[in-house]
Structure 1
Amino acid sequence: MDSRTVLNEENRHNAYIEFKRKEWAKLRANVKLTLSEDDIKQLQGINESLSMQEVIDIYLPLSRLLNLYVSARQYRHAVRDKFLNSEHEKVPYIIGVAGSVAVGKSTSARILQALLSRWPEHPKVALVTTDGFLRPNKELVARNLMHKKGFPESFDTKALIDFVAAIKSGQKLITAPLYSHLTYDILPNKSLQFEQPDIVILEGLNVLQTPSVDELDKTFVSDFVDFSIFVDADKGLLKTWYIQRFLKFREGAFTDPNAYFHSYSKMSEKEAVAIASKIWDEINAVNLEKNIRPTRDRANLILQKSINHQVSEVQLRK
C-alpha cells in the first residue's frame, strides 16, 4: 500500500465534508426525478436491488452537484474564448468512477449517465468502462498475468491514456474497445464510438491509479479526470457481494456454453461458494488492498455503502 496516498482518519476528517444519508438527501433541493421504476430496474446490477429512494436520496443530489461543476467549467471555457476572441474545440468533462470489484460502481455510473443526460446543459453523456483496455487473454497468458487480471499491469495503460488524452484534446470521434464478461476477453473487431460528448463517465478499477516513487514523471489516467468518485464498502461486505454475484452468474450467464466460466455452472452451490471465496481472497482482495483502496483518498467524493448496497454516508472533498 502506498502510504503517500492514504489519509489517516484525522486528515481525512479535515480533507472531507462528511454527510450522513439524510443530510445529503436534503441537498437534492428541487431537482426532479426523471427516471421511472422501469428505468431503475434496467440500471441496477445483477446483485443489487436498486430502489427509487436510493436514486432520490443519493444520486439526485449528486447529479445536481455535478451539473453545477460541469456548468462552471462550461462558463470558464466561454470566458476563455471571449478573452481570446476565438472559439476552441469543446472539451468534454470527465467524471471518474472507481472502486472495488462487486461494489456496484458500474451501477453508479449508469445511474449518473441516465440522470446527467437529462439535464439540458449537457445532454450527450458517454459511459466507458476501462475493462475494454484490459490486455487480450492471449497476451495476458504470454505475460503470465491471467492470475492478475484487473491489476494495473494487466491493462494496456498507454492505450487508455491515449484514449483519455484524445477526449481532452477535443477530438470529434472517439473510439474505445469493448470487453465481454461472457467470454472474459476483449471483443475483436468491435468498438464503442461516440461523437463530441458533453460528459464522459469513465468507470473502472484503475481510474484513480497513482504513481509509485519511480513513476512520478509519468502521465496517469487520473491526470485527465475532472471529478472523481470512489464507491466504497467494508471488506466483509465486498466479499459477500462478490460471492452472491458469482452465484447469480453461475445460474445465469455461466450456463451459456460460450461463457469462459461455463464449467462453474456445473458445480454445486457449496463448490461455487468455495471457488468464489478463493478467487476473492487470492486475487480481488489483494488488488483491493494493494492498488484500489489506496486511491480512495484522492477522490473528490466518496460514496460509502452499507448493507443491501445502500449508501450510508457521503464524503465531499473540501
Structure 2
Amino acid sequence: MEKYSPYMTFTKEEWAKLRFNTPMTLTKEEINELQGVNEQLSMAVVSNVYLPLTRLINLYITASQQLHTVSDTFLGKNTSKVPYIIGLAGSVAAGKSTAARIIQALLSKWPNHPKVEIITTDGYLYPNAVLESKGLMNKKGFPESYNTKALVDCLAKLKSGAKEVRVPVYSHLQYDILPGQYKIINKPDIVIVEGINVLQTPKLEGNTLPSIFVSDFFDLSIYVDANETDLLRWYVERFKKLRGTAFNDPNSYFKRYANLSDEEAVKTATSIWNNINQINLKKNIEPTKNRADIILKKELDHEITTINLRKL
C-alpha cells in the first residue's frame, strides 16, 4: 500500500503469526465440504489466514458486546443485543462464497457467538421476469438488477432486534428467485452479508441520494481482491467444470452449455466475462474496494498472499 495509506499491510507469513494460540476447530473433511467448485482450500490457508482473521473478528465482537453492556448500565435498562453484521464483497469468481462459509464455520465455534448466518445478495435480485421487462437480463449483478430497498429493509430489521427475518431464496440452478420460498433468520449473533454489490454506494434517485444504504448496517467489511487475469481464468475454469455438474441437470437454466467442447466453453465463458462481468467489475465493484475494513488479496490458485487491515 502507499506510504500514507489508511491500511496496515501484512504478508501471509506476518498475518499467520497473529493466530497466536487460537485452536483449529475444523477438520480437513469439513474444510473440503466448504470449498467452492474451483478452489482447493488447504488446512494451511485456513490456519494461517482465516484463523487469525476470525480471531480478530472475535475480538471486535467481544468489544461490541462489552459496549452493549456498558450502554445498558448507562441507560439502566436490559436491552436486546442486535447481531454483528459483516459485509463481504468482491468480484464474480473471487471466492466470496467460500470465504463466507469458512468464516461462518470458524466464528460459530466461539462460545460467545455460536449462531452465525449468511445472507447472499443473490436473494435480492429482481426475478427474471422483472429483469426481462426492464431490459436488464444482460445486466444481472449490476446495481440496478437488485431490489436494494428490500435488502436495506432486511438489515434494518436485523439491527432493530427483530426476532425473525425472512430472506428470499435464489436458485443458481434455475438462475432465478424461487417464488414463495424464504430462509428464516432467527436471532443470530452474527450475520455475514455476501455479494458483489454490498459496498457499492447508492445511485441518484431523481436528484437525490438515498439516505440509507446497505453498508451503513455493517460493523465490519471485507473485500476479496484478485487481479483481473486471475479472475477471468477462475471464471473460465469454473464454467468448464460446471458442464459436467450443474449444467447437466435437466432443470438447469444453463443446460444448453452442458455439451460444449472445451474450446467452445472457453470462448463462451470469456465472452460472458468480457461483456458482463468485466464491465461490472470495473464500473461498480472494484471502485468499492477501498471502502472495506479488510482486503484479502489473492494470487494464482486462490492463495491469499496479502492482508490489508484498516487502521483504527
Tell me whether the two structures share a fold, i.e. TM-score over 0.5. yes
Superposed counterparts of 1:92-171, under 5 Å:
92-171=83-162
Query: What residue number does 1:259 align with?
Result: 252
* In 2, Cα distance between equivalents of 1:284 and 1:232: 15
Deviation for aligned residue 1:218: 2.8
Q: 1:275 aligns with which of 264, 268, 272?
A: 268
Letter in 2 for 1:257: P
Letter in 1 for 2:211: K
1:179 and 2:170 matched: yes
1:62 and 2:53 matched: yes
TM-score, with length taken from structure 2? 0.97
1:301 and 2:294 matched: yes
1:239 and 2:232 matched: yes
* In 2, Cα distance between equivalents of 1:113 and 1:317: 21
- Which structure has the highest helix share of the two? 1
* In 1, Cα distance between equivalents of 2:202 and 2:13: 36
* % identical aligned pairs: 55
Query: What residue number does 1:198 align with?
Result: 189
* In 2, Cα distance between equivalents of 1:203 and 1:32: 26
Deviation for aligned residue 1:154: 0.2
Letter in 2 for 1:294: P
Deviation for aligned residue 1:189: 1.7
* In 1, Cα distance between equivalents of 2:134 and 2:203: 21
* In 1, Cα distance between equivalents of 2:208 and 2:165: 28
| Cα distance change on mapping 1:174 and 1:317 into 2, 3 Å | same
Q: SS of the counterpart of 1:10?
A: coil
Q: 2:37 aligns with which of 46, 53, 67?
A: 46
* In 2, Cα distance between equivalents of 1:54 and 1:90: 33
* In 2, Cα distance between equivalents of 1:223 and 1:257: 41
* In 2, Cα distance between equivalents of 1:229 and 1:149: 22
1:209 and 2:200 matched: yes
Query: What residue number does 2:7 align with?
Result: 16
Letter in 1 for 2:261: S
Q: SS of the counterpart of 2:258?
A: helix
Across the aligned residues of Structure 1 and Structure 2, the Cα RMSD in angstroms comes to 1.1
Letter in 1 for 2:288: T
Q: What count of residue pairs does the alignment treat as equivalent?
A: 309
Q: SS of the counterpart of 2:241?
A: helix
* In 2, Cα distance between equivalents of 1:258 and 1:203: 26
Q: 2:242 aligns with which of 218, 242, 249?
A: 249
Query: What residue number does 2:279 align with?
Result: 286
Deviation for aligned residue 1:10: 3.1
Q: Deviations 1:241-290 (Å, cap 9, x if unpaired)?
A: 00001011111100011100000002111111101000000100000010
Asked if structure 2 preserves the Cα contact closer than 8 Å seen for 1:151 and 1:287, the reply is yes
Query: What residue number does 1:37 align with?
Result: 28
* In 1, Cα distance between equivalents of 2:185 and 2:7: 34
Gaps of 5+ in 2: none
1:89 and 2:114 matched: no
* In 2, Cα distance between equivalents of 1:176 and 1:217: 22
* In 2, Cα distance between equivalents of 1:137 and 1:88: 41
Bigger CA drift: 84-93 or 31-40?
A: 84-93
Asked if structure 2 preserves the Cα contact closer than 8 Å seen for 1:92 and 1:200, the reply is yes
Letter in 2 for 1:230: Y
Q: Deviations 1:27-58 (Å, cap 9, x if unpaired)?
A: 00110000001100010000000100000010
Deviation for aligned residue 1:217: 4.5
Deviation for aligned residue 1:215: 4.9
| Cα distance change on mapping 1:59 and 1:215 into 2, 3 Å | farther
Q: SS of the counterpart of 2:266?
A: helix
Letter in 1 for 2:90: G
